[in-house]
Amino acid sequence: MIEVELANRQAVQYIVRRFNLRLKHKLGQNFLIRPDVVEAIARAAELDEGTPVMEIGPGIGTLTQALARTGAEVTAFEIDGSLERVLTHTMEPYPNVHIVYEDVLKADLPHILGNREWHAAANLPYYITTPILLYLIQSELPISLFVFMMQKEVADRIMADPGSKAYGALTIAVQYYCTVEKVMDISPTAFIPRPAVTSTVLKMRRREQPAVTVKDESLFFNLVKMGFGQRRKVFANAMKMGGIPADLAGQILEKAGVDGKRRGETFSMEEYGRLADAWYDLK
């Protein structure tokens, strides 16, 4: 195949017609038609010749092409086996691209990725953005940088400040492990077919150490779950609903120097860290 620009309207429409594609809404198959967008994602992924980069959901290869053009070693995971005939065609000019036709959540990633340091870039299917993101950042896989496109609403939650409506357990889970910055917002007009929402690209770099140091991560995340699982309750009551006896809850709050009459959605990550350490010391 002669190399052509895949991320434009004419190319995508031609491929859809030629291969008689039936786009699967449930798999989030919305293909980019903006070369500047895929190039911006590739730049944000900080790729050099030979850099191992993992992509999730290549579709017909619009972003895959931009990643491959950097000279990086691209390993893309595609759950839709019917796209193999398309990707075999569109990725023919790029020997540095390897497609794995598996669900990334079920693939043997430790074996596939090995011990090298990887970057990751993807236009994530919106229906499964959060499970994929949390799985990857909470794992011990050797991925140091994530550049992911997602629904703007999810990106806003990840970047939210304490006390805001968007602030929640997802905010803390991502920011605990990674620094986060916005790369760009993307209009629905940048896709075929058009999604109903605006998209956002986030760049998340894995921290060398978590954002807060805690004595027991499981206690930390249990408290976060309590705080946001009972958003309308003051935190002292949310702790009791979470199974912590009232007397112990009072001791934890006092030792941590946190007002239990506040709601958990107002607590900073550092306050959750102090609460977790107090609970650990009192157990």
Q: What is the pLDDT of residues 72-84, one digit of tens each?
A: 999 999 999 999 9
Q: What's the farthest any 2 CA atoms get from each other in the chain?
A: 72
**Residue 23 pLDDT grade (very low, low, confident, very high; cuts 50, 70, 90):** low
Residue 3 lies in a domain: no
With a cut of 60, say whether residue 25 has pLDDT above it.
no
Measure Cα distances from 73 to 68, 120, 201, 247 in Å: 7, 11, 21, 56
**Rounded to an integer, what distance in angstroms lies between the CA atom of residue 85 and that of residue 236?**
57
Is 24 a residue whose pLDDT tops 80? no
Statement to judge: residues 250 and 120 lie in one domain: no
State whether 122 and 201 are in the same domain: yes
**Whether residue 55 is found in the same domain as residue 195:** yes
Structural domain count, the chain: 2
Is residue 1 included in any domain, yes or no? Answer: no
Token pair in block for residue 270 = 């550092």
CATH number at residue 264: 1.10.8.100
% of residues, the chain, pLDDT over 70: 97
To which residue do tokens 């017909």 refer? Answer: 60
Mean per-residue pLDDT, 33-56 = 97
239 contacts 259 by C-beta, under 8 angstroms: no
Co-location of 44 and 24 in the same domain: yes
Q: What is the dihedral of CA 134, 140, 145, 146, to 10 degrees?
A: -20
Is the Cβ–Cβ distance between 238 and 229 less than 8 Å?
A: yes
In whole angstroms, what is the distance from residue 230 CA to residue 239 CA?
Answer: 9
The number of C-alpha atoms within 13 Å of 136 and in the hemisphere containing its C-beta is 29
Together in a domain, 201 and 224: no
Query: Does 192 fall in a domain?
Result: yes
What's 148's domain CATH number? 3.40.50.150
Q: What is the pLDDT of residue 125?
A: 85
Q: What is the pTM of this model?
A: 0.94
Check residue 267 and give left, alpha or beta (phi > 0: left; psi -120 to 50: alpha).
beta
Please tell me whether residues 194 and 245 are part of one structural domain: no
Is 77 inside a domain boundary?
Answer: yes
262 and 127, same domain (yes or no): no
Q: Are residues 65 and 95 in the same domain?
A: yes
Q: Quick one: pLDDT band at residue 196, thresholds 50, 70, 90?
A: confident
User: Which structural domain range is residue 224 located in?
Assistant: 217-282
**Model confidence at 269: pLDDT above 90:** yes
Residue 204 token pair: 């998340």
Closest to 175 in 3D by CA, of 142, 141, 140, 133: 133
> Using alpha carbons only, how large is the chain's radius of gyration in Å?
21
**39, pLDDT greater than 60:** yes
pLDDT of residue 3: 79
Distance from the Cα of residue 183 to its chain's centroid: 14
